[in-house]
Amino acid sequence: MHYQLSGKLTDRDAKQHILHAFTVPVGATELRLRFDYTPERVASGLNALHLSLFDSHGFRGAGHRRGDVHEGVVSHIIELNDVRATPGYMVGALPPGEWSVVIDTHMILPDVPVTYQLAVDVSSDPLGVIPAVPAEPAVPIPQRGPGWYRGDLHGHTVHSDASWDIADLLAHARNHRLDFVTLSDHNTVSGLVEFDRLARPELLTMGGIELTTYAGHALALGIRRWIDWRVRSGTRSMPQIAAEVEAAGGLFIIAHPMSVGDPICTGCDWRYRDMLPGPARCVEVWNGGEWEGESNNEDALALWYVWLNQGQRVVATAGTDIHGPLPPGARPGFNVVYAESFSEAAILRAITQGHLYLSNGPQIEVHGRTEEGVSAGMGDSLPSGRTTITACWEGCTSTDRVRLIADGELLREQEAGERGEQHWQLAAGEAAWCVLELRDATGRLRAVTNPLSWLV
Ligand SMILES: [Zn+2]
Ligand SMILES: [Zn+2]
């Protein structure tokens, strides 16, 4: 079976999903699809057209990446059979029936139309002998009790647009002595089987997908199936998608909400007015390998403080959003989570409860104790009343500064030294919530806790 067509798109076709259906006959063993478009770029930036593939049963993979570029033509090739698949797509038999390939037009810039060719070949030749990857038995994760676990909640591989593969991401996590690492490729879950297979007793793998929409990105963590990320006015809203993630036992996190957007980073800034934060319970305030950069983390932190002042119970998270080796000397922020046990479910539950701080190295903690003797820590609430705040920190440099932020305002500040402990008295009603920040001599964030709050 051979299927071929061409088309032309203008900027009016941007942010659409253009479907082309084709029929896979009974007995098909191999599919090869080639998609070419041009121009790759115009004066104002890069065009970005990516593919999603659906077989007669449902999602079959996505190729959220630029593809090969030759003389201004972008080429994306999919090869698929029951033992191999192009990264981003799912290995498996080819069920007969109607399939579809969807062109997701993340960006078509004005002035110059985009032309494309799509060719699909389905063959029924018996497959030659293709050496299958030997299955390694999954290693059971040992029982570990309550404690602090450090890890990353955002990472990519060649299954979407990263430069490295799954083994590299895991090696990177081991080099940073992480307890857990998350794979959240753009709009696909094809890497998760291998990722979980390579889990080791000291390194927990967490499933996920980055819902990479045209008006913002969100992480769906603890998820191992595709979530339809395509927001469609009137039929599928972002709050509905968030509810679907939660109903599937996953954790929904608004990713890098204040990132630069089109055309520099297509769809990267969060523009869902019904989710500011709406039903979202987590927001990634620290994105990327550095505090400063195109993710505008300082603005994301300020946005989170505004939401806390509105009485929203939103948890802050960090994610390296790593796509390949970090530059030397990079100090990414990680999540340090107090979980009841060393499991994906327990870590995600602890995050939902706000039992974590974000840090590029130092350890920090904040507790409160009322005059009546009621105690609470990060993510928890105290009854209203005069409270002693206890802050502890360790692993700092002598020029770092500790800051107590209450209701978004700086309330106390002092030099950190390498380690320290401080007690501050807060009058009844003086604050609705507080967090501890640690910043370096230039003001860059080194660590921040989730809030301790007071019941009103
Ligand atoms: Zn993103
Ligand atoms: Zn990402």
Assess if residue 27 is contained within a domain: yes
Give the mean pLDDT of 399-410.
97
145 CA distance to ligand 1 centroid (A)? 33
Burial 406-432 (b: 16+ CB within 10 A, else e): bebeeebeeebeeeeeeebebeeeebb
How many whole angstroms separate alpha carbon 69 and alpha carbon 160? 16
Mean pLDDT on 416-437: 96
- Any idea what DSSP says for residue 1? -
Domain final position from 339, 360, 381: 360
Q: Domain check: are 377 and 232 in the same one?
A: no
pLDDT band of residue 456 (cuts 50, 70, 90) is confident
Segment 135-139 shows an average pLDDT of 63
pLDDT in the model for residue 67: 85
- pLDDT(378) > 60: yes
- Sign (positive or negative) of CA dihedral 78, 84, 90, 95: positive
Domains held by the chain: number? 3
In a domain, 135, yes or no: no
345: confidence class by pLDDT, cuts 50, 70, 90: very high
Residues 208 and 297 in one domain: yes
Whether residue 163 sits in one domain with residue 19: no
Q: Tell whether 394 and 259 lie within a shared domain.
A: no
Backbone angles phi, psi at 251, to 5 degrees: -115, 130
The answer to whether residues 339 and 384 belong to one domain is no
Give tens-digit pLDDT for 160-203: 999 999 999 999 999 999 999 999 999 999 999 999 999 998 99
Domain co-membership, 390 together with 319: no
Q: Residue 347 falls within a domain, yes or no?
A: yes
**Phi–psi pair at 107, nearest 5 degrees:** -155, 125
User: What CATH number is attached to the domain comprising 268?
Assistant: 3.20.20.140
Arithmetic mean of pLDDT over the chain: 95
**What CATH number does the domain containing 433 carry?**
2.60.40.10
Q: Residue 302: pLDDT band by 50, 70, 90 thresholds?
A: very high
Ligand nearest to the CA of 157: 2
Say if 138 falls within a structural domain. no
Q: What is the pLDDT of residue 241?
A: 98
Q: Look up residue 220 and give its amino acid.
A: A
Distance 223 CA to ligand 2 centre (A): 15
97-107 and 30-38 strand pairing:
unpaired
End position of a domain, from candidates 75, 94, 123: 123
Q: Which residues surround ligand 2, an ion (CB under 5 A)?
A: 210, 321
Over residues 344-370, mean pLDDT:
97
Q: Are 102 and 248 in a shared domain?
A: no
One domain, residues 170 and 208: yes
Residue 164 makes CB contacts below 8 A (sequence gap 6+) with 157, 158, 172, 323, 324, 325
Euclidean distance between CA atoms 180 and 153, whole angstroms:
8
Whole-number pLDDT of residue 143: 76
Kindly state the percentage of the chain with pLDDT values over 70: 96
Provide, for the chain, the percentages of residues in helix, strand and coil under a 3-state DSSP scheme, each rounded to the nearest 5: 10, 40, 45
Note the ligand closest to the C-alpha atom of 265: 1
Structural domain includes residue 417: yes
Say if residue 342 is in the same domain as residue 377.
no
DSSP 274: G
Nearest ligand, CA of residue 184?
Answer: 2
Specify if 154 maps to a domain: yes
Instruction: Read off the CATH number of the domain in which 116 is found.
Output: 2.60.120.380
Q: What is the pLDDT of residue 437?
A: 98
Q: What is the pLDDT of residues 206-260, one digit of tens each?
A: 999 999 999 999 999 999 999 999 999 999 999 999 999 999 999 999 999 999 9
List Cα–Cα distances, 319 to 141, 238, 277, in angstroms. 23, 21, 18
Give the domain extent around 406: 362-456
| Number of the ligand closest to the Cα of 267 | 1
Judge if 440 and 310 occupy the same domain.
no
Looking at the structure, tell me whether residues 180 and 269 fall in a common domain. Answer: yes
Q: What does the angle CA 383 – CA 385 – CA 386 come to, to the nearest 5 degrees?
A: 135
Both 353 and 236 in one domain: the answer is: yes
